[in-house]
A = this chain, B = another copy of it.
Amino acid sequence: MRLITEVAAEAGIDEQHLELYGKYKSKLSPSLWQDIQHKPDGKLVLVTAVNPTPAGEGKTLTTIGLAQALNAAGVRTVAALREPSLGPCLGMKGGATGGGKSQLVPSDDINLHFTGDIHAVTSAHNLLAAMIDNHMFHGNELKLDPQRIVWKRVMDMNDRSLRSIVTGLGDGNGTVRESGFQISTASEIMAVLCLCENLEDLKERMGRILIGYDQLGRPVTARELGAVEAMTALLKEAVKPNLVQTLEGTPAIVHGGPFANIAHGCSSVIGTRYALKLGEVVVTEAGFGADLGAEKFMNIKCRQAGLVPSAAVLVVTVKSLKYNGGIHKEQLGSENREALRAGLCNMERHIENLGKFGVPVLVAINHFAGDTEAEVEEVLAACRRLKVPAAVSRVWAEGGAGGLALAGELKKLLAGDRKDQFAPLYADGLDIPGKINTIVREIYRGNEAVFSPAAKRSLAVIERLGLQQLQVCMAKTPYSFSDQPRLLGAPEGFTLGVRDITLSLGAGFAVVVTGNIVTMPGLPATPAAEGLRVDADGQICGLE
């Protein structure tokens, strides 16, 4: 690992703009922005994927590997990524910093507390929650309805026992009411942190956060509770982007990590802006497959921030295509060209969808050891038929060197500037049901959205409060284009059941809840935490 001061210097960042966290991590000071804001922006490349499968697609891995490869090919490139959440690291998923020769380092630190951003989000969120209950305890001047408080508490831990709880029991402990915990990355504060432009904008947005309703049904915001300045104080460091490096010394801005279902699943706008000033190319990613991640990246993040992506890289694997072709998880290791051909429809639809945003697409075939040449050739042939460039990527095994073919294709794609063709999929002025149905028809290819009674009540509130200009943030299973996790491939003709619509007024979107979205994961029978080992020097083993 190189000192982060060296990595920064090479990226053109003077040491005075660094706020070091040890020798290998740094926050970037707002003074840096003063220095670089007038520079031209680099080109923004989104890494997205087919629908996720149990085999893993390697989106983060490809993002890191591609950034390394571009640098190796002489293109000054910065990666812009999300911060891992502690809960999943200790639960099912393990670390979230790539793998093999394409990793962020120091990976243990990044996977655990990093620079404390998620802890700061947790604190700000829970301060607001404590102030809500405290307000009701001390006279309830705002006449908050305890049955209609929508602001829960958060913790960065997988803890299913906290999903649904009763608080305020016992003498002198406040109002007894039902509530619960979400994982911290599901906090609207995290979404706000990732969409804001600066500390002032963060404050402004947090002021708009809906905490619940009063006894007359009037919406009540965080601003009315007097909580916003203190929440801003808690986030004053978290709003600064973090600089780390990849195993090959490529600079990576790792900042923010909102949930990809009830939030938009992209790294921070602030971090992206810094990266665009520092790199000729910025490689970033968005959560889940392109039906969710890329859609929200374009329709929410790019729209709000006025960002224009120059290309999208769609990560596919032979295994994920076979799985989408109907093969069981256990059989993915053996060659099966028929299943692979059956699953190509999933890739094809994602390619078509990305085209609807006016963004050129490059397919990255993330190569696994067991993939046969014939299988890989099937994918390449399909891309040729679709007239979409493609390349095999071996960045896990080979690092940047294994991504040179991919980088070469990307350079060709970026040479033709098509930025003016980019457009989000729906207009701001369209109403919320219209926006939802646009996504259902254009991206998911279902017939229409069907609204539950609860969702209809929410639509009435949106109507009454004049909130149709909000974006929609789809909370849907990532495994299928539809709301049914087992409907793989490229389904059509289904309806999308909307169970509820909640308001994230600080983030600026309405969350459209389909199916059973869990916002507090549980631990598996054998949590990843049980496999960790730490020696006397603090060296961790078992986190990746």
What residues make up the interface of A, taking CB atoms closer than 8 Å to B? 19-23, 27, 30, 86, 90, 108-109, 112-113, 116, 119-120, 122-123, 126-127, 129-131, 133-134, 137-139, 153, 155-170, 172-175, 178, 198-200, 203, 226-227, 229-230, 232-234, 236-237, 239, 522-525, 527, 529-530, 532-534, 536-538, 540, 543
Contacts and interface: CB of A to CB of B under 8 A. Distances in A.
Most chain B CB neighbours (cut-off 10 Å) among A112, A126, A130, A172: A130
Nearest to A123: B86
Contacts of A233: 108, 112, 532, 534, 540, 543
How many copies of this chain does one complex carry? 2
Nearest to A176: B161
A484 to B, nearest CB: 19
Q: Nearest 5 pairs between A and B by C-beta? A: A230-B529, A164-B170, A236-B538, A130-B159, A119-B119
Contacts of A109: 237
A88 to B, nearest CB: 12
A86 B524 CA distance: 32
Contacts of A229: 529-530, 532-534
Contacts of A199: 534, 536-538
A56 to B, nearest CB: 22
A20 to B, nearest CB: 4
A537 B30 contact: yes
A164 B172 CA distance: 10
B22 A19 contact: yes
A226 B20 contact: no
Contacts of A175: 161
A534 B232 contact: yes
B155 A173 contact: no
A534 B236 contact: yes
A522 B134 contact: yes
Contacts of A27: 22
Contacts of A134: 159-160, 522-523, 527
A160 B229 CA distance: 22
Given A30-B537, A525-B138, A529-B131, A165 B163 contact: no
Contact of A113 (B116, B126, B527): B116
A270 to B, nearest CB: 13
B522 A159 contact: no
Nearest to A201: B536
Contact of A163 (B108, B126, B173): B173
Contacts of A543: 233
A113 B529 contact: no
A129 B174 contact: no
Contacts of A198: 536
Nearest to A114: B116
Contacts of A167: 161-162, 165
